[in-house]
């Protein structure tokens, strides 16, 4: 009897122990399932975050590609501008050729301004901007660190201002010293040209190869041909003019400047001489531009290959 009771206790104990083990296994499995589910959720979250990071990285790579393309454009901007200008001037040259061969009834006018820059040149630039016209500035360099017409202003700043607006920067010698030895020898003249070329390049980054003789080529007198040979040998072209307002001398009024201008316009290609220090010329400049356009002229800046530039 005692043995049966003892066996019964053992069986009960084993059943109890087995129940506990089963319960522990069930609980452990539940815990494992919950942890597996949590891990799966975390993996999904990580996958989603990774997918978002991949998308963000792709967007960043696209941005970098776009930045690279823009950087290339910026790096090559000078070359791009040079190509655009080359094509622009090539088209004008073609038009010139057709006009001179009487194959086109179009007309061309080149507005040119000598002796600047002056503080008044800002006003000239405003008018040109208003009418969307590009011109040519034959600049000098002597004493331009101070504007002749505004002693508190630095006229060196105007070189870059004119160039960045797309106007042609041209060379009128550094000194413009007609009565101070400019024409004393061909060598002296070419030295003044090179000095002004260096100044323009330093102020604007532009290298100009178009020259106008101060006073016109006839002012060079007996040295004219020798100077022209030196200009040609150094890669320069030179240009005089076909029309003018007469503002380089004494003008009594804007009306006189206007009459000089109108009476001198008689060719299908005109190079018009003016000076950007003259208030009378500034006053009539809008009317000049309108007159030229109304009479069929297209207005362009000068360029080395132009037929009007002697080479």
The whole-number pLDDT of residue 238 equals 98
Band (pLDDT 50/70/90 cuts) for residue 22 is confident
Return d(Cα 106, Cα 189) in angstroms, integer: 37
Report yes or no on whether pTM surpasses 0.95: no
The whole-number pLDDT of residue 213 equals 98
Cβ atoms of residues 225 and 183 within 8 Å? no
The whole-number pLDDT of residue 74 equals 45
Helices (H), 77-211: 77-100, 121-130, 156-164, 186-204
The whole-number pLDDT of residue 206 equals 95
Average pLDDT for 221-234: 98
Residue in this structure with the two tokens 């454009």, named with its chain if needed: 73
Q: What is the topology classification, in CATH, of domain 105-299? A: TIM Barrel (3.20.20)
Band (pLDDT 50/70/90 cuts) for residue 60 is low
Domain ranges in the chain?
Answer: 105-299
- More confidently predicted of 233 and 33: 233
pLDDT tens for residues 61-102? 676 566 556 545 444 445 667 788 899 999 999 999 999 999
Return d(Cα 296, Cα 105) in angstroms, integer: 9
pLDDT tens for residues 145-184? 999 999 999 999 999 999 999 999 999 999 999 999 999 9
**CA-based nearest residue to 139, from 183, 190, 201:** 201
């Amino acid at each position: 009897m005692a043995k049966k009771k003892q066996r019964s206790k053992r069986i009960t104990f084993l059943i109890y122990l087995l129940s506990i083990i089963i319960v522990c296994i069930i609980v452990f499995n539940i815990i494992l399932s919950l942890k597996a589910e949590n891990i799966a959720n975390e993996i999904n979250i990580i996958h989603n975050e990774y997918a978002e990071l991949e998308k963000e990285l792709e967007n960043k790579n696209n941005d970098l590609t776009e930045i690279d393309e823009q950087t290339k454009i910026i790096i090559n901007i000078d070359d791009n501008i040079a190509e655009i200008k080359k094509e622009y001037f090539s088209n004008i040259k073609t038009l010139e050729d057709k006009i001179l061969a009487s194959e086109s009834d179009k007309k061309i006018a080149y507005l040119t301004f000598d002796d600047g820059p002056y503080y008044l040149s800002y006003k000239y630039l405003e008018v040109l901007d208003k009418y969307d016209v590009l011109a040519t500035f034959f600049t000098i360099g002597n004493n331009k660190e101070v504007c002749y017409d505004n002693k508190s202003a630095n006229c060196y700043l105007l070189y870059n201002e004119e160039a960045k607006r797309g106007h042609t920067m041209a060379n009128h010698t550094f000194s413009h010293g007609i009565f101070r030895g400019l024409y004393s020898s061909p060598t002296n003249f070419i030295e003044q040209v090179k000095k002004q070329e260096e100044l323009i390049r330093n102020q604007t980054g532009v290298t100009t190869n178009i020259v106008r003789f101060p006073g016109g080529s006839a002012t060079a007198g007996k040295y004219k041909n020798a100077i022209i040979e030196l200009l040609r040998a150094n890669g320069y072209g030179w240009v005089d003019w076909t029309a003018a307002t007469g503002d380089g001398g004494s003008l009594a009024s804007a009306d006189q400047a206007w009459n000089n201008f109108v009476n001198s316009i008689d060719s299908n290609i005109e190079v018009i001489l003016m000076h950007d220090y003259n208030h009378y010329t500034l006053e009539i400049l809008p009317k000049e531009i309108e007159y030229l356009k109304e009479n069929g002229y297209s207005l362009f800046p000068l360029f080395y290959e132009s037929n009007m530039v002697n080479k």
